Amino acid sequence: MMETEKKTMTLYLVVPCYNEEAVLPETAKQLGAKFAHLIRDGRISRESRITFVNDGSKDGTWALISQLCSGKGARLFCGIDLAHNAGHQAAVLAGLMTVKDRCDAAITMDADLQDDVDAIDQMVDAYYAGNQVVYGVRSSRKTDSWFKRHTAESFYKFMKLMGTEVVYNHADFRLMSRRVLDELSRFPESNLFLRGMIPMIGFQSTNVYYERHERFAGESKYPLRKMLHFAAEGITSFSVKPLKIITNLGFLMVAVSIIMFLWAFFTKFTGHSEQGWSSTVCSIWLIGGIQTLCLGIIGEYIGKIYAEVKRRPRYIVAEFLHDEEQDPEA
């Protein structure tokens, strides 16, 4: 491991693009300049590349990417064309899995220049300092609208409450080492939520703080509808807490029914009760409680089935210290 850290790293950038013809020329220009600079300074190797993943765009995005890969400075660029629109997370994963065997580390970033191009330098430094994952974290949300800021911040808080571990204010701008990408390839799930999966893998990580800019051109491909869907995806792909809430609710309702029973007896014997009222109310609570509890118990099993079908790795070995001579294969 020490050897890879000493030699100049090969860095791949993975940039998902969906209908991004308005920003792509500028993005390519800025990223190209950044890479040329890093290569000149000997920070990254000459084999490093900027990879654009065309996520089934309906505009001229792929034509632009093809041009970049054949025109002047083509050596810096490569392109992956997905057969249909697979969605942001799938496009990012497609890019990472395609390039993983060619690089020492990969950085994923959006095509619209909202992620700070200069933060790449700090990510590279953090990689040389021994980090396997470097999270790009927004230092403020000044450029966001009031609505976007509040929905986004509540999103992180709600995720935590629901049992999904995510890095606060980190989206999908991050560096991952080859090692992490290899481990990521062992997660065969199709409901993707990369910001939950990467922290789950583990390894030494750090944060790099950056100011997020306005979208350079074009419009957001994440309307509120998609954002809500994404939040639901994050919770249901990572946590069975909602199912546990049902079980707890069931227990609570049974407890309430017991209190209702005691109260019904009390009122009956003190002579204040209506004919038939106590038995009706107590039955409603008890039956409701038992039903909710049963749903919760079924839910617990469904949660287990869900965890099994995902076939995630059960553990990830970070290091194995052993005596070479005892190794049968050595």
Q: Which residues bind ligand UDP (CB under 6 A)?
A: 16-18, 20, 55, 85, 87-88, 91, 110-112, 114, 220-222
Q: Is the dihedral of CA 69, 86, 91, 180 positive or negative?
A: negative
* Binding residue for Mg ion, selected from 19, 51, 108, 114, defined by CB under 5 A: 114
Instruction: Find the binding residues for Mg ion in span 157-216 (CB under 5 A).
Output: none
Buried-state track 94-129, b at ≥16 Cβ within 10 A, e below 16: bbbeebbeebbbbbbbbbbbbbbbebbbbbbebbee
Q: Which does 16 bind (CB under 5 to 8 A by kind): ligand UDP, Mg ion, none?
A: ligand UDP
When the beta carbons of 11 and 111 are compared against ligand UDP, the nearer one is 111
Smallest distance, Å, CB 261 to Mg ion? Answer: 57
Smallest distance, Å, CB 156 to ligand UDP? Answer: 14
Smallest distance, Å, CB 101 to ligand UDP? Answer: 22
Q: Is the dihedral of CA 162, 167, 173, 176 positive or negative?
A: negative
Smallest distance, Å, CB 51 to Mg ion? Answer: 18
Return the ∠ at Cα 180 (arms to 175 and 184), rounded to 5°: 110
CB atoms within 10 A of CB 165: 12
Rounded to whole angstroms, the Cα distance separating 330 from 140 reads 52
Smallest distance, Å, CB 112 to ligand UDP? Answer: 5
When the beta carbons of 21 and 110 are compared against Mg ion, the nearer one is 110
CA proximity to 247, closest of 295, 305, 304: 295
Does position 61 interact with Mg ion (CB under 5 A)? The reply is no
Does position 112 interact with Mg ion (CB under 5 A)? The reply is yes
Which residue is listed with tokens 């995005």?
61
CA proximity to 51, closest of 18, 25, 79: 79
Distance of CA 230 to the CA centre of its chain: 10
When the beta carbons of 142 and 272 are compared against Mg ion, the nearer one is 142
Does position 48 interact with Mg ion (CB under 5 A)? The reply is no
Smallest distance, Å, CB 146 to ligand UDP? Answer: 16
Q: Which does 115 bind (CB under 5 to 8 A by kind): ligand UDP, Mg ion, none?
A: none
When the beta carbons of 110 and 183 are compared against ligand UDP, the nearer one is 110
R_g (Cα) of the chain, nearest Å: 26
Stretch that binds Mg ion, among 112-120, 177-185, 190-198, 241-249 (CB under 5 A): 112-120
